[in-house]
Amino acid sequence: MSVNKREGLVFVISAPSGGGKTSLVERAVRALPDLKRSISCTTRPPRPGEKDGVDYEFISREAFQGRVASGGLIEWVEVYDHLYGTPRPPLESNRKTGIDTILAIEIQGARKVRELFPEVITIFVKPPSLEVLEARLRERKGEDGAVLERRLQLAREEMGWISEYEYTILNEDLEEAAGQLQAVIVAERCRVRARSSSQKGSS
């Protein structure tokens, strides 16, 4: 492991559901040393192929509420009737030990994280078009038409939020988009001076 003298950076990546951020994050974590993905906890049931402790920590609503009460989550949100939250201990420990963390979360969570860590680096992944997004969501198994419709509606709204993010990556070609995400991370690591919150967008 490399010896980092700085605190670990925090990256937040958001995309409309089906925007492809999971694959991009997985690639970045595989390619870059000292980068970890934050594993959220959720009350949503696993989709086929999803593994507990890898994709999410799948927990009950009671367990989730217990974590909220004990301050174990940095931020949390309710989307599509399910709770999602970012566990505090791994992020804090990564920051202390100079490991960079990437959080794949939606916009309300991104806003909260920005309040807590003004130096957070925010990235929005755009799908090539809403038609492509719809096709990707339809390929996904395990969700019924009504849920799909709500995801698409939310995706349309989310596309309007791009201006709150500092970087945007168009996910038309996965290889190219993965390269761009890694380039952003590497560039931020090369920064001489930490960004001050006054440099950030006005939102």
Q: Contact with ligand 5GP (CB under 6 A): which of 44, 111, 136, 150?
A: 44
User: What single-letter amino acid sits at 75?
Assistant: E
Neighbours of 116 (CB within 10 A): 12
Q: Contact with ligand 5GP (CB under 6 A): which of 8, 10, 40, 167?
A: 40
Helix (H, G, I), strand (E, B) or coil at 56: strand
Q: Please tell me whether residue 20 binds ligand 5GP under the rule CB under 6 A.
A: no
Judged by CB, which is closer to ligand 5GP: 93, or 199? Answer: 93
Judged by CB, which is closer to ligand 5GP: 5, or 115? Answer: 115
Q: Contact with ligand 5GP (CB under 6 A): which of 106, 123, 165, 167?
A: 106
Residue nearest ligand 5GP, CB atom distance: 109
Judged by CB, which is closer to ligand 5GP: 44, or 189? Answer: 44
Structure tokens at 170: 């168009």
Neighbours of 166 (CB within 10 A): 16
How far apart, in whole angstroms, are the C-alpha atoms of residue 101 and residue 178? 16
Report 59-98 residues binding ligand 5GP (CB under 6 A).
75, 77, 79, 84-86
Structure tokens at 11: 């990256």
How far apart, in whole angstroms, are the C-alpha atoms of residue 126 and residue 129? 8
Judged by CB, which is closer to ligand 5GP: 4, or 108? Answer: 108
Q: Please tell me whether residue 111 binds ligand 5GP under the rule CB under 6 A.
A: no
Q: Does the CA dihedral 155-158-162-167 come out positive or negative?
A: negative
Structure tokens at 76: 């949390």
Least distance in Å: CB of 26 to ligand 5GP?
13
How far apart, in whole angstroms, are the C-alpha atoms of residue 50 and residue 71? 26
Residues forming contacts to ligand 5GP in the complex (CB under 6 A) are: 17, 40, 44, 75, 77, 79, 84-86, 104-106, 108-109
